[in-house]
Amino acid sequence: MERFPQEDEGAMSRRLAGLVRRDSLVVVAEGLGLGEAVWFGPTADGGRGRANLLADACEALIGALYLDGGMAAAASFIRHAWEPLVSRAIEPPKDARTALQELVQSMGKPLPVYETVRVEGPDHAPRFLMRVSLTGEPPAEGEGATKQAASEAAASALLRRLGGAA
């Protein structure tokens, strides 16, 4: 709000979502060298989950700062560590699901509907296939390691087909 006081609530919400998502946490963790400071040990997935672990380590660091030094210490760290990400984000990021919803609303159509088509794989490494349906359009599907990632992929596929940004 301090950096972008002219923006409406929706734009600020998208900025916040972009700054707190896993990818941003990983960028901050890597910038701090957390990967070298934390021992990850052997992993069942061969290290593919390392990004999740880095994001978790970054969140744990913020929690430790809060518990040890209070809100002021945690807030100071966050302002400093996230400054490059805030400065880099000229336009508020928009995920594919949000972009699809906004496009559909501008077309005067009902909101898209998401459904789980299937879940495969072991419990520790599932793969989701999600379908997004829109009135008057063939559905689109997407895969991912989480329902959210698969829904995002499906929304992106439908956006591309509709000519929207994906």
117-to-78, 143, 145, 161 alpha-carbon distances in Å: 39, 10, 14, 20
Residues 47 and 116 in one domain: no
Supply the range of the domain harboring residue 27.
9-88
16-to-1, 2, 36, 52, 160 alpha-carbon distances in Å: 10, 13, 28, 19, 25
Residues 55 and 119 in one domain: no
Query: Which own/partner contact pairs does 137-141 have at CB distance under 8 Å and 24+ positions apart?
Result: 137/161, 137/162, 141/117
- Map residue 161 onto helix, strand or coil: helix
Residues 77 and 109 in one domain: no
Residues 52 and 105 in one domain: no
Instruction: Measure the CA–CA gap between 65 and 165, rounded to whole angstroms.
Output: 39
pLDDT tens for 30-77 read 999 888 888 777 665 555 457 888 899 999 999 999 999 999 999 999
**Domain tally, the chain:** 2
Last residue of a domain, one of 88, 118, 139: 88
The model's pTM is: 0.58
